[in-house]
Amino acid sequence: MYIKKWPKGAMIITATILLWLKTYIVYKTSFDIKIENWTQEIILFINPLSFLLIVFGISLFLNVKKQKRYLLTSSFLLSVTLFANVLFYRFFNDYLTIPVLFQTSNLNDLGSSFHELVKFSDAFYFTDFFVLLFLFKGKANVFTNFQASKQERKIYFLLACAIGFFNLGLAEMERPQLLTRTFDREMLVKNIGAFNYQLYDVFLQSKSSAQRAMADGSELVEINNYINANYQQPNQDLFGIAKGKNIILISMESMQNFVINETVNGQEITPFLNQFIKESYYFDNFYHQTGQGKTSDSEFIIENSLYPLSRGAVFFTHSGNKYSATPEILHNRGYYTASMHANNKTFWNRDIMYDSLGYERFYSLEDYQVNDTNSVGWGLKDVDFFDQSMRHLTEMPQPFYVKMITLTNHFPFELDEQSQSIAPYNSEDKTVNNYFLTVRYTDEAIKRFVQQLKVNGLYENSIIILYGDHYGISENHNKAMGEFLGVEITPFESAQLQRVPLIIHIPGQTGKTISTVSGQIDVKPTLLHLLGIETKGNIEFGTDLFSKEDKDFTVLRDGSIITKDYLYTKDTCYRKDTGEPAERINCEPYLEKAKTGLNYSDKIINGDLLRFNQGASQSNLNPK
């Protein structure tokens, strides 16, 4: 049978159109990209085109036999890249970056989570590849073989570049200084495209790698001036009130603040925490500030009072840096410092990073008895984790600083039926339904642990700090969350959902709720001041939460800003009292401060600047 051949060049055009249209469909169906006007829609539609034309256009330099092989290989690899971003987005509501790709040691622990993410319909992401393969093979081959001339190649690439510059020009008109907003990956993908963003990320990674080699420490003077200008005096009524006491820091996996004092099916979700906050300091306007490093980012922020990086996890990318973290400071003052987490010690590169933070001991998976009976989901159940950890605690020299990381309340929120103490929420979203079950389980585990502290004589001589590490329910579940909360999940509400609990229990102190706007970056100076350790002169970006100089300001890693009266996110300023958009001018005074703080913190990490600051605050580090 005679098959009419398509015009020359049709191979490249077909490959480009197939992947271009598929990418646009993925934008609209798999990513939650907010479109506000027709210009943004046009930008979103055209942004893959120039990249695809250039990549597939390389085949014009190959001989006829190699052209099809190159086009098929490129189509497949780009489809894999796109699909990988889709899977990552389903899990983290974020886009892949180069540093994340090097976190391969985490993959072994993600099995149950990815099993929940992959769907049968995901075969769609490779449809264009199989169509192309069909058209290239056997009797279905409709393409005319041709070798492009030098002039044809020149015209082709000029056209591809022209489309690229047109795209970038439209994007800059819509969002000025676009490429300086490296912390806002959604905005970059929306404007320059998923593939161009991956290229831009390679550039950013190269830039980051070069910063340490070129750093000389001179930037510390400017950074120190900024930090000293924002220093807030400690509350003298509380300064040193917990001197010499044990510190028990509990990281509550995926615990968001909306569950506190809330019910599901008429039952309290966190009955113990609801009671515990009545005899503790409870911060109800406290936000997580993590980026792609999630739990490891929260550890980094809490213990260093530095912001995490916008790309990847500091625990992987800069584990060899010099830090002045809380464990090191307290170790130098006679504390025994340890971290407890019943997970593989290499997960998030903790076995390496903990040395840099000053931990003496890491109680990891090998220090716990884990079997099929006492584990679920990601590993050892929280009740068993605390039970077994108690034996380690009672053997430690005092005073000690111990960080404990829970695990059960982790996506996909699995829990065996006999461990469930409340009925699941009833919605069409399994993730949201199960979330309340595992939160309730963790609450019960913490209750048992506090009781054990009392039985073992540790309770009265210990500060207990409980905090949520990051969100548990991502924006991918806004519909069910909106049903539960009784509100539409707008960008304003989504930012508010980044609040996590912070509970500080100090023996002998009465309970109090403090509504100062704050973040994880404020925990380190707060704790050190409670222990009577002055922090002025230290390089840290947080402030004492008990200071009488209320700051009512915090910035999230994605650039969102929260103040007492306003919230800025997704390029929009909102009134806190109504949740309605406000004039941008109301948020502008805080934008530069937020950008400066994030940039300075990035410089410290990328340049490893604290290695030049060895003696700057030595008086604060040595034992008295």
What DSSP line would sit under 452-505, residue for residue?
HHHHTT-GGGEEEEEEE-S-SS-GGGHHHHHHHHTS---HHHHHHTTB--EEEE
pLDDT at position 348 over 90? no
In this prediction, what percent of the chain has a pLDDT beyond 90? Answer: 62
Higher pLDDT, 102 or 486: 486
Pairing of strands 502-505, 267-268: unpaired
SS3 315: helix
Please give the average per-residue pLDDT across 102-124, as a whole number.
Answer: 64
pLDDT at position 525 over 80? yes
pLDDT score at 2: 43
Q: Which residue among 211, 241, 271 closes a domain? A: 211
pLDDT score at 1: 42
pLDDT score at 324: 95
pLDDT score at 63: 81
Higher pLDDT, 211 or 405: 405
The reply to whether 445 falls in a domain is yes
**CB–CB of 439/422 below 8 Å?**
no
Q: For residue 491, say if its preceding peptide bond is cis, omega within 30 degrees of 0.
A: no
pLDDT score at 491: 94
Specify whether 114 is located in the same domain as 248.
no
Please give the average per-residue pLDDT across 290-295, as a whole number.
Answer: 90
pLDDT score at 35: 85
Q: Which of 207, 406, 213 is nearest to 309 (CA)?
A: 207
Specify whether 157 is located in the same domain as 289.
no
Cα separation, 349 vs 259, in Å, equals 31
The reply to whether 412 falls in a domain is yes
pLDDT score at 403: 98
pLDDT score at 68: 85
Q: Which of 351, 321, 313, 345 is nearest to 103 (CA)?
A: 313
Specify whether 201 is located in the same domain as 295.
no
Active site (catalytic) residues: 295
Specify whether 303 is located in the same domain as 176.
no
pLDDT score at 622: 36
Secondary structure of 271-306 as H, E, C letters: HHHHHHHHHCEEECCEECCCCCCHHHHHHHHHHHCC
Please give the average per-residue pLDDT across 448-462, as a whole number.
Answer: 97
SS percent in the chain: helix, strand, coil, step 5: 55, 10, 35
The band of 347, judged by pLDDT with boundaries at 50, 70 and 90, is: confident
pLDDT score at 516: 94
The DSSP H or E segment spanning 593 is helix 588-606
pLDDT at position 20 over 70? yes
Dihedral-angle region of residue 575 (phi above 0 means left; psi in -120 to 50 means alpha; beta otherwise): beta
Specify whether 197 is located in the same domain as 252.
no
Specify whether 73 is located in the same domain as 175.
yes
The reply to whether 534 falls in a domain is yes
Tell me the per-residue pLDDT of 294-343, one tens digit each, with 9 for 90 and over.
999 999 999 999 999 988 889 888 888 999 999 999 999 999 999 999 98
Specify whether 141 is located in the same domain as 225.
no
Q: Which residue among 211, 229, 259 closes a domain? A: 211
Specify whether 441 is located in the same domain as 418.
yes
Where helices occur in 291-429 by DSSP H, the ranges are: 294-304, 314-317, 326-331, 350-357, 382-395
The DSSP H or E segment spanning 185 is helix 185-192
Give the tokens for residue 343. Answer: 């997970």
Specify whether 223 is located in the same domain as 202.
no
Dihedral sign, Cα of residue 404, residue 408, residue 409, residue 410: positive
The reply to whether 3 falls in a domain is no
pLDDT at position 104 over 60? no
Please give the average per-residue pLDDT across 442-462, as a whole number.
Answer: 97
pTM, two decimals, is 0.77
The DSSP H or E segment spanning 52 is helix 49-57
The reply to whether 4 falls in a domain is no
**CB–CB of 599/605 below 8 Å?**
no
pLDDT at position 439 over 90? yes
pLDDT score at 132: 86
pLDDT at position 617 over 50? no
**CB–CB of 82/55 below 8 Å?**
no
User: Which residues touch 396 (CB under 8 Å, ≥6 apart)?
Assistant: 336, 338, 402
| Mean pLDDT score across all residues of the chain | 88
The reply to whether 2 falls in a domain is no
pLDDT at position 6 over 60? no
Please give the average per-residue pLDDT across 197-205, as a whole number.
Answer: 80
Highest mean pLDDT among 1-10, 178-187, 401-410: 401-410
User: Which residues touch 11 (CB under 8 Å, ≥6 apart)?
Assistant: 59, 67, 68, 71, 136, 143
**CB–CB of 494/562 below 8 Å?**
no
In this prediction, what percent of the chain has a pLDDT beyond 70? Answer: 91
Specify whether 96 is located in the same domain as 234.
no
Please give the average per-residue pLDDT across 492-505, as a whole number.
Answer: 97
**CB–CB of 541/307 below 8 Å?**
yes
Total domains, the chain: 2
pLDDT at position 289 over 50? yes
Please give the average per-residue pLDDT across 272-293, as a whole number.
Answer: 96
Q: Which of 149, 423, 470, 414 is nearest to 286 (CA)?
A: 470
The reply to whether 5 falls in a domain is no
pLDDT at position 480 over 60? yes
pLDDT score at 96: 77
The band of 101, judged by pLDDT with boundaries at 50, 70 and 90, is: low
Cα separation, 558 vs 560, in Å, equals 6
Specify whether 541 is located in the same domain as 476.
yes
The reply to whether 133 falls in a domain is yes
User: Which residues touch 25 (CB under 8 Å, ≥6 apart)?
Assistant: none
Query: Which domain covers residue 331, as residue numbers?
Result: 219-621
Specify whether 578 is located in the same domain as 501.
yes
Q: Which residue among 181, 211, 241 closes a domain? A: 211
Please give the average per-residue pLDDT across 556-584, as a whole number.
Answer: 94
Give the tokens for residue 330. Answer: 């307290």
Instruction: Look up the CATH number of the domain holding residue 304.
Output: 3.40.720.10
pLDDT at position 619 over 50? no
